[in-house]
Structure formats: structure tokens, C-alpha cells
Structure 1
């Protein structure tokens, strides 16, 4: 079977890595647009470190800090307009998945004229501003993927720009930026990374290489789960070493989905985020156990292999771990189940599934996951 692996991003990891490797930024351009949110990158020190790095090598910068959670199409067009207006010739995106995804879309839109009607077409000129990404959560892996996920109000969902143009040139991973995260944010983002790795193994595009990466990501995250559960129960934060492991696991899982895409779990999670404002990683976690049960029914050898990697004996044991991490679950109505199932069944993610659920399967998974 023909397979390929492509991940051109250079990843630098470690404490103060962006300051210690600031000379790399001189290869990207002469003026940066820093893309970030309004508060978190200022509070965790990442924005200040990026500014120190740029100033130490004489690179000018402007700051676009209007990225909201689940960034909109309008947001990235506004950012691209600022990049053009300030003559920025490269992008540094700082934050969780939202600023990183916004930064990638801004890099594309600042380099070429793309109307909103063609934004998700996949048909682009071979032009993009170079990018460096600085993740401050351990979940999305966006620093090593060719995707930008945006809130699409017209379609009432989250929609992906997918192009190899969106691979960043550099990713700087410094776990100290994640130390200020609350425990539930840490858990939700870790579950997002875990979902990426598991879904990668459940994709029709999975390869020996992507499965090897997914297995290591799963191992790292599962090793941290007992401490996350304990933390959730006694309100005890994770230490820096554990956060480093989660950040590495998130990055590795990003490398996985860069090759495989995501599957039914993401397709079902998007309506929960758009309509119910449930955090993306949490939405995945609410659904992941039931999808793995469906896989167990249709492809038992595949589910057994994943359970073995997780070092759990059966799907119910994994679901119980998720329940302890997530706490009380949200509920949705039968009308919402009908609406969300119809939407999820039509997404491109479903085409990636080794076990492709029917619309009735999706209704069952929503019902078992989100009703009493």
C-alpha cells in the first residue's frame, strides 16, 4: 500500500527555547505580526518572551491580540488586513489552538487575495507568510499541522482550511507557559490530544509511522491521567515535568492528524462546541468512549490494539477513566440529537473513518454520551 509522511516544521523544545533560539526568526523576515488572544499570553509570559526574542535580534513587530476562543472568519480577515497594513512579512502565533489556527489563516490571507466564498476550497496560490508558533496549551498540536479550524457562522459549525501551505516553519515548545492553566483546561486539552492520537489510529489514512507516533502520544498521556484524576479530586495542579510530557504528547498527536485527519469524534464534537459552547477537547472526551465501543463491535482487533496501547483491559474501563476526568456530563435534548446527528453525518471527517457510523449510530452515541 502506498503511504507518505510529511511534516516540515522544525520543533524546538525546552525552557526559554524561543529566547535561546531567537536567531532562527531572522530567517523568516524583517517584521513580525504577533497573533494572540487578549489576556492569556500576557499572563503566562509567552508574549513577553517573544517580544524579548524579537527585540534582541532587531526585528520589528506589531501585535494583533483580538483572537477569541473558536476564532471566526471575520477575525482572521481582520488580522490579515492588519498584517498587510503594517507590512508584516511573517507571523508569530502564540496561544492555544485558537490563536495558532487564526495565525495560520492570517498568514495565508495576508499573502494572497481569497474571498470568503473560496476560503475553504483548498485551491490556493503557492503563497503564504512564514510562521513560527508558540503553543501555550497541550492539546491541539496545531503547531505541527496543516489545518486552520475556524468558526463558520454561515454553516453553523467549525470548518477547516487544509493545505500544506499552513505548516509552520518553526514550533517553540516551552511547558512553563502551561503552568498557569487551570486544571480543567489542562484536562480538556489533554483529552483533545488523546482524541487526536486515538482517532489517528482509527483513520483510513493511518500508516505504520502515524500509528507509532500515536502510540507514543497515547502512552505519555495515559501515564499522566492518574495524576490528573487525583488533581481533579483534590484540586492539586500538575508539576512542570508532567506538563512537559503532555506538551510533547500533544505535539506528537498533532503530527499524527497532520497525516491522518480526524474522524467521527471530531465530527460529532463540533456541534457541541458551536451550539452548546462545550470546550472542544471536552466535547471529544464526552464522545470518545462510545465511538470506541462502536469500533469494538465492528473492528474488534483494532479496538483491542488501541486498548493495549492505553494499558486498559476493556472499553468500559477507559470510559470510566474519562468519566472521572470529565466529571458531571452535559445533557442534550432529543431534538438536538436529531439535529446534530444530521450535521455530523455529512462532514468530511466521516470519510476518514475505518468504522464509518451511520446516522442512527451517531444518534445512539449522542444518546448514550449525553442523556440520562
Structure 2
């Protein structure tokens, strides 16, 4: 047995985490850059709380609030330019996965003269300290080194990250999700689940990552009835934040699989939110991977309270919906773009060739059972 494990992020998942851990902010310098989207950080209340504690601790800050859904390289370059100009010491990402991922890229580019390829190939050995304050329960970006960015010239999303892009500190408060729209809660919940599920079935899975993944999937199963009934209690929000957190730790060690690699096409070409895109691909993914991972899939289903895969898929599709039918041309384009995601395909059971990917895309269309 060989197990390696690295989790350098200091994590606090608790009520009023920002206020309770305010003194830690002084550890990282005297001036911060706050990286946010246009409105979600303020709507959640997280922005105001961060600003308050920075002021109380005698720290200054500059705001970069230009992060779009699915941040582009152009956006993070603009943020890095402002960070350099302002002389910030550390970066605080506030929001869902997009601001957190952008914060990581900005933290690297602010102190490194890199071209795009050097950034994406992880040819850097330092970055500004990163603090992550998530306002959704989905990406787990608060504990991963990964930054996922849109690369427009190849029409897809590309990730990078190494030990320097782990957040130093994650302040996780479930109350920040109270301002999140219902659909976003559902989409991000499924995103969080797929991290542990894909990690559990990844070729890079270990007994330790499996134990974490099973814990998260069990809690996700407990959340499903409430999600179905739109019962968004504080207990549910806390559980979803836990699932997101653990999912992030899992994929840090296992990577993701073809679900994520394929899902980027749905997001780039159709504007489908990331978590919903992942959900759309679960049926074809399970149809393929059950040949290689039958026993593990069954254990995962059982941990969530399901005996049959179809019962589980029906539950997910009730919450998320099903994708529209793809044209032959779309399948061909999406297949080519998916092959760019070599790392996620390599983590997937079996030998995921271009032919396999094309068949997986084709199988997103029929209304058939596994």
C-alpha cells in the first residue's frame, strides 16, 4: 500500500468563522486584495464581514470585483496588474469557485512574470498567500490548489495549480449560502458530490481518499430528501459545506475524471453551470465505468441509501434535469475538445480513447436506463 497526503490549508468550518479567526489575517501582511464577482460576495454578507475585520485589525485592502462566471485568463491578468500596482501582500477570494480560482491565479501572476503557457504548466515557485472565503457549497476550491480558467483560443477550460496555490486559510461559514438561489444550491451540491464520487472511482484513489469520499457521499445522501423538498435549513447548509470541503480534499489527491473533462464543453458552448453539466454526464459515465468499478459503484450507492443506480440517477435528474439532445456536429466538436483534458481522462477507469469519448457524448442523448 502506498498513500501520500498533503493538506496545507488551515480550515475553519464554523459559524462566524471570519469574525472568530480575524486575528489570523495579520499573519499574511498589511494590505489585501479582495477578489470577488460583481455582486455575490456582497449579497452573501461575506464581503462586509471581511472588510469589517480587516479594518478592526488595522489592515488595508483594494477590491477587484471583475470576476465573471468561469473566469478568463484576461480577467486574472487584469487583477494581477492591479495587485502589482497596489502593492498587496495577500489575496482574499470571496465567493463561489470562480472568485476563488481567480484569486489563486492573481496570487501567482502578481509576483511572477509568466506567459500563459508558463502559468498553465506550473512553472512558478512562489505566490502571494491566499485566503479563501467560499459563499457556495460546491467547488471545494477553498482547499484545492487548482485554478480553472477559460482559455478562449482553444474554446475550453484549463486548470493549473501546485503547492503554492493552496489557500493558506479557509474560512467557511454556512450562513453565506443563504443568499444563493435555489438552482445554484442544487447545482453546486451535485458538483460537490461529483468530486468525491469521481475521486472514489479515480485510478489515483487510495484507501485514505476513499475513506474521505465515502464520508462525503454518505452525508450527501442524507441531504437529498431535503434538497428534493426545498428544505434549506441551517443543518442542511452546514452538511453541504462539509460535502464541498471533503470533496475538495479528495480531488486534490485523486484528480477528477471524464465527467469534469467533458462537462467543460457544456459550460463553454451552452453556458450550462458547472455542477449541472457534471450531473448531465453522470448517466453516460456510469454506463461506461460500471464495467470496471462495479463493486465500488455499488458501495457508493449504498452509502447514499440507494440499491439501484437507476434510483440514484432518477433522484439527480429530478433535481437537475436532463440535457437537450446534441447534434452530430456538436458531438464531434465536444469530442475533440474533451481530448484536450488529458489528465481527467487518464484518471478514468479503462482506456478512454477518442472513440470512447465520442460514444459517451452520444449516450447523453437517449432516454434509456443503465
TM-score, length-normalised on structure 1?
0.95
For 1:346 and 1:109, locate their aligned partners in 2 and report how far apart those are by CA, in whole Å: 24
CA shift for structure 1 position 290: 2.0
Map of 1:64 onto structure 2 = 64
Choose from 329, 333, 339 the match for 1:345. Answer: 339
CA shift for structure 1 position 206: 0.7
Residues 365 and 318 of structure 1: is their aligned pair in 2 closer, same or farther, counting only changes over 3 Å?
A: farther
For 2:134 and 2:327, locate their aligned partners in 1 and report how far apart those are by CA, in whole Å: 36
Map of 2:53 onto structure 1 = 53
Can you list the C-alpha shifts for 1:250-286, whole angstroms capped at 9, x where unaligned? 0110000011111110011011111111110000000
For 2:205 and 2:41, locate their aligned partners in 1 and report how far apart those are by CA, in whole Å: 34
Map of 2:281 onto structure 1 = 287
CA shift for structure 1 position 297: 2.1
Aligned pair count reads: 366
Map of 1:19 onto structure 2 = 19
Map of 1:357 onto structure 2 = 352
For 1:245 and 1:224, locate their aligned partners in 2 and report how far apart those are by CA, in whole Å: 7
Can you list the C-alpha shifts for 1:146-175, whole angstroms capped at 9, x where unaligned? 100000101110000121111011000001
Moved more, 319-328 or 299-308: 299-308
Contact 1:289 1:318 (C-alpha < 8 Å) held by counterparts? no
Contact 2:325 2:365 (C-alpha < 8 Å) held by counterparts? yes
Contact 1:264 1:356 (C-alpha < 8 Å) held by counterparts? no
CA shift for structure 1 position 229: 1.4
CA shift for structure 1 position 288: 1.4
Map of 2:236 onto structure 1 = 242
Identify unmatched segments of 5+ residues in structure 1: 232-236
SS, match of residue 69 in structure 1:
coil
Can you list the C-alpha shifts for 1:314-363, whole angstroms capped at 9, x where unaligned? 22112111111113533321210121122213422111112343333323
For 1:44 and 1:93, locate their aligned partners in 2 and report how far apart those are by CA, in whole Å: 13
For 1:21 and 1:356, locate their aligned partners in 2 and report how far apart those are by CA, in whole Å: 46
CA shift for structure 1 position 371: 5.2
Map of 2:5 onto structure 1 = 5
Moved more, 297-306 or 268-277: 297-306
Identify unmatched segments of 5+ residues in structure 2: none
CA RMSD of aligned residues (A): 1.4
TM-score, length-normalised on structure 2?
0.96
Map of 2:90 onto structure 1 = 90
For 2:120 and 2:253, locate their aligned partners in 1 and report how far apart those are by CA, in whole Å: 19
Can you list the C-alpha shifts for 1:111-149, whole angstroms capped at 9, x where unaligned? 21111232211221x211011100000000000001000
* Residues 185-196 of structure 1 aligned to structure 2 (within 5 Å): 185-196=184-195
Residues 75 and 174 of structure 1: is their aligned pair in 2 closer, same or farther, counting only changes over 3 Å?
A: same
SS, match of residue 74 in structure 1:
helix
For 2:19 and 2:323, locate their aligned partners in 1 and report how far apart those are by CA, in whole Å: 42
Moved more, 278-287 or 357-366: 357-366
Map of 1:234 onto structure 2 = none
Aligned pair 1:336/2:330, yes or no? yes
